[in-house]
Amino acid sequence: MSTPRFCNPHVILNPMAASGKALRLWSSLEPTVEDTLGPVNVRFTEAPDHATALSRESLHAGADLILVVGGDGTFNEVVNGYLSEGLPINPGASLAFCPAGTGSDFRRSAGIPRSPHDAVKAVAKAPVRRLDACAIRVTSPDGDNITRFFANVTSFGVGGEVSQAAKCNFLTAVNGRAAFLWATARTLLQYRAKNVCLTFDDQPGHSLRVMQVALGNGAYHGGGMNVCPLASLKSGDLDVTVISETGFFDFLRSIPLLYSGDIHSHANCAHYRVKGITATSGDVVLVEVDGEAVGQLPCTAWVLPGVLSIAGIQTLD
């Protein structure tokens, strides 16, 4: 075993990620973790938002690294434990992401190796980087104003509907990817454009009918859709992709552009780079944050430059 880079590494593992595959992965991954990082304190999540509480407990216990083994939702929860009022609880502590979930889109946005074993090894070799996060104030299902932090992508419109449908359908407990695909197909068949007013920074607001609005700190969401292809995790800006009202079949034809990174070439797509955005609507428009359904409009989102310390990133534009 090489000399450990971190003195007090902790692992937060979601045993239910990827329909239980993360837990099965751990039996082969644990030796790699201990050989790379040394002895680790391992905590398993037991319920939604538990990773947030575990993250705070680890930081208060002196952890200088939290390795997240799970998917984008688990990593988002840990980020929400890592930050308090927009600042890190312990600026000297770092986060790392080991992809073991259904989508693992933060891995794509951040340039983290696809293989969980390689991702762990990169934590000991790749430089620790200071990356941006974003905050969003959104209306919860109970009607309260809540603030969530996100490291990758937030969206509202079609994405919010898909996340909600994937969260509670008959396939959710069986296979996360199948649940997502079923939710996507069902949502596309039923979805109609919504009236939304968007306000960027201090500019006047403008109203339009939209299918989808993506707020990108990172570039990818939805299991590999390159929805904000110009986004950078260290730019200090928020990339916004707006897909305005389009016909059903035209919207279906645009989906390959999402995966290719050419979505900005679509006639009904607009791109903005801003520091903050406010969105309101008289319609019910659902919001997802890093793949998790959290509420609905109105919402306000803004950038938190350089607040995340992330280990294990091999390449980053």
Taking only the tens place, the pLDDT of each residue in 65-100 is 999 999 999 999 999 999 999 999 999 999 999 999
Taking only the tens place, the pLDDT of each residue in 254-276 is 888 988 999 999 999 999 999 99
Task: Kindly report which listed range (23-37, 175-189, 275-289) carries the lowest average pLDDT score.
Answer: 175-189
Quick one: 77 and 188 in the same domain? no
For helices 72-82 and 50-60, the axis angle rounded to 10 degrees is: 40
Last residue of a domain, one of 125, 160, 182: 125
Which of 255-291 are b and which e, b meaning 16 or more Cβ less than 10 Å from the residue's Cβ?
eebbeebebeebeebeebebebbbbbbeeebbbbbbb
Q: How confident is the model at residue 170 (pLDDT cuts 50, 70, 90)?
A: very low
Q: Is 182 a residue whose pLDDT tops 70?
A: no
Quick one: 121 and 147 in the same domain? no
Quick one: 40 and 183 in the same domain? no
- SS3 of the chain: CCCCCCCCEEEEECCCHHHHHHHHHHHHHHHHHHHHHCCCEEEECCCCCHHHHHHHHHHHCCCCEEEEEECHHHHHHHHHHHEECCEECCCCCEEEEEECCCCCHHHHHHCCCCCHHHHHHHHHHCCCEEEEEEEEEEECCCCCEEEEEECCEEEEEHHHHHHHHHHCCCCCCCCHHHHHHHHHHHHHHHCCCEEEEEEECCCCCEEEEEEEEEEECCCEECCCEECCCCCCCCCCCEEEEEEECCCHHHHHHHHHHHHHCCHHHCCCEEEEEECEEEEECCCCCEEEECCEEEEEEEEEEEEEEEEEEECCCCCCC
Quick one: 159 and 230 in the same domain? yes
| Euclidean distance between CA atoms 92 and 6, whole angstroms | 11
> What pLDDT is stored for residue 181 in this prediction?
63
CB atoms within 10 A of CB 50: 17
| Euclidean distance between CA atoms 71 and 75, whole angstroms | 6
Domain-located, residue 258 = yes
Quick one: 99 and 159 in the same domain? no
Quick one: 73 and 166 in the same domain? no
Taking only the tens place, the pLDDT of each residue in 22-73 is 999 999 999 999 999 999 999 999 999 999 999 999 999 999 999 999 999 9
What residues are paired with 159 via a beta bridge?
none
Domain-located, residue 2 = no
Quick one: 147 and 279 in the same domain? yes
Last residue of a domain, one of 125, 153, 170: 125
Supply the mean pLDDT for the chain: 91
Quick one: 140 and 80 in the same domain? no
| Euclidean distance between CA atoms 33 and 39, whole angstroms | 8
Task: Kindly report which listed range (66-80, 169-183, 185-199) carries the lowest average pLDDT score.
Answer: 169-183
- Within 13 A of 55's CA, how many CA atoms are on the CB side? 27
| Euclidean distance between CA atoms 124 and 139, whole angstroms | 40
* Overall domain count for the chain: 2
Q: How confident is the model at residue 4 (pLDDT cuts 50, 70, 90)?
A: low
Taking only the tens place, the pLDDT of each residue in 292-316 is 999 999 999 999 999 999 999 977 7
Residue 286 sits in a domain whose CATH number is 2.60.200.40
Domain-located, residue 4 = no
Quick one: 106 and 247 in the same domain? no
Domain-located, residue 312 = no
Domain-located, residue 279 = yes
Average pLDDT rounded to a whole number, residues 275-293: 96
Quick one: 106 and 205 in the same domain? no
Quick one: 149 and 69 in the same domain? no
| Of 246 and 30, the one with more pLDDT | 30
Q: Is 175 a residue whose pLDDT tops 80?
A: no
Domain-located, residue 313 = no
Taking only the tens place, the pLDDT of each residue in 211-224 is 999 999 999 998 89
pLDDT winner (highest mean) among 101-105, 145-149, 256-260: 145-149
Last residue of a domain, one of 69, 95, 125: 125
What residues are paired with 204 via a beta bridge?
none
66 near 75, Cβ under 8 Å? no
Provide the domain limits for residue 120: 9-125
> What pLDDT is stored for residue 178 in this prediction?
55
> What pLDDT is stored for residue 32 in this prediction?
97
**With pLDDT > 70 as the criterion, what percentage of the chain qualifies?**
92
Residue 96 sits in a domain whose CATH number is 3.40.50.10330
| Euclidean distance between CA atoms 263 and 3, whole angstroms | 45
Domain-located, residue 195 = yes
For helices 116-125 and 21-37, the axis angle rounded to 10 degrees is: 30
Domain-located, residue 293 = yes
Among residues 178, 185, 140, 139, the alpha carbon closest in space to that of 161 is found at 185
Q: Is 15 a residue whose pLDDT tops 50?
A: yes
Beta carbons within 8 Å of 262's beta carbon, 6+ residues apart: 229
| Of 103 and 239, the one with more pLDDT | 239
Quick one: 40 and 158 in the same domain? no
**With pLDDT > 90 as the criterion, what percentage of the chain qualifies?**
76
| Of 255 and 280, the one with more pLDDT | 280
